[in-house]
Amino acid sequence: MAAAWTVALGLSLLSILWVELVRDSYHTLAHYWTPLYRLHVWHHKVFRPDLTVVDPTIYSRAHWYNDVPEASVMLLCGGLFGWLVQPWVTVGAWLPFLGCFYTLIFLGGAIARGLAVPGADALTDLTHLPGPFTAPPSAWLVNRTYHWRHHFDSQTAYFCGTFSFLDKLMGTALSLKGKTVAVTGAAGGLGQALIVELQRAGATPVALTSGSRALPALFEDLGVRVLHWQVGQEAAIAEDLRRIDILLLNHGVNVLGDRSATAIEQSYEVNAFSQWRLLELFLETVTDNRAIARKEVWVNTSEAEVNPAFSPLYELSKRAIGHLVTLRRLDSPIVLRKLILGPFRSDLNPYGVMSARWVARQVVALAKRDIRNIIVTINPLTYLLFPIKEVSASWYYRLFSRSGRSLTFTDSSAKVHEVINQPREKFLR
């Protein structure tokens, strides 16, 4: 009997997932099949960028032309699913039809909105409510910020309605088209490879370089804008960061076996403090809904966060920035991604076993699937150890620290700039 109920309950949950996949597939098809798009386009006529309604009549028609047909298809497919799997159900014969009951919620809401029932929009159209965003785009559930991007970032991405599973599967959970992506450490092997892959994905890369080495001809060939900056003088490019959608922190230094005081200072200054200051400067540019929805920071912390890199200071400094990003995620108004990369061939590691180009390709592909912790390595232990470390550290920080904005540029700009402009010797105290 227990096994029979387990099967029935499993099929009931599967029926809900099924109708959600039907809805997301219908939505996707509506953007590529003209007959459906003629109905769906009404939905895109409804809202201004602040999600206020352009016209009540258009709002009503959009539900009759798009939402009601969409929910009707979900209901039909949910019923078909229940009918097909019912022979395998010996108890709770109605459970495989749970997806139909679930769909009736959306169908009833769409009809109520089409009839302009007072208050129906506030109760049943949660992803289109106007007002300031209170959270960045969600990772697995579609919130207002996530869905806003479908309307005003890219209509060929962000198709999901409740769960973002199909977007992740199709690589449409993050659109890079038209986004300006600044890459630090751009003159290095990985930096160059990332710029190539980002441009292929439709982004406009900007090369941020702080070194003295000659810049590769690749930048000129691709028409990539180059922005020069200096470690310790991050505030000098604050205005440039306002025009950036995604900041990819990729610069670093590896002093290998050196453990002198100078090596300690250099490792932490470049690998941790400089990246943290740029991150905080970038967060200061997040001032409205558009920025919350579109802006992101990607931080290359490397798998040195959890595994030895046979370079103690590299490991320590990378773990420092890794933990700072984990802590900052708790209050960040935008998405912060980590790049946990294994050994690839570069100036920092000439013995790496992966090519920088292959790593960059994986990074971009996984980012488009909205993976927040992007792991690319040949070491299987990293895929096990890093999630455990990240979850445990996040909960530890959540339990034993409190939300505070006193160190962000937005709330105490003068104080943080004072810290940044202190002589480097003070960072060792």
**Dihedral class, residue 393 (left if φ above 0, else alpha if ψ from -120 to 50, else beta):** alpha
> Which one, of 267, 245, 250, 249, lies nearest residue 258 by Cα?
267
For residue 387, give the amino acid letter: P
Instruction: Name 400's Cβ contacts closer than 8 Å, sequence gap at least 6.
Output: none
Pair 346, 352: CB distance under 8 Å:
yes
**Given 3-state DSSP classes, what are the helix, strand and coil percentages for the chain, each rounded to the nearest 5?**
55, 10, 35
Pair 298, 248: CB distance under 8 Å:
yes
Count CB neighbours of 395 within 10 A: 10
Instruction: Name 126's Cβ contacts closer than 8 Å, sequence gap at least 6.
Output: 144
Active site residues: 314
**Residue 285, CB-side half-sphere exposure with 13 Å CA sphere:** 22
The secondary structure of residue 288, as a DSSP letter, is S
Cα 134 from Cα 210, distance rounded (Å): 35
For residue 72, give the amino acid letter: S
Consecutive H or E run containing 35: helix 34-44
For residue 286, give the amino acid letter: V
Q: Where are the alpha helices (DSSP H) in 56-143?
A: 56-62, 68-85, 98-114, 120-124
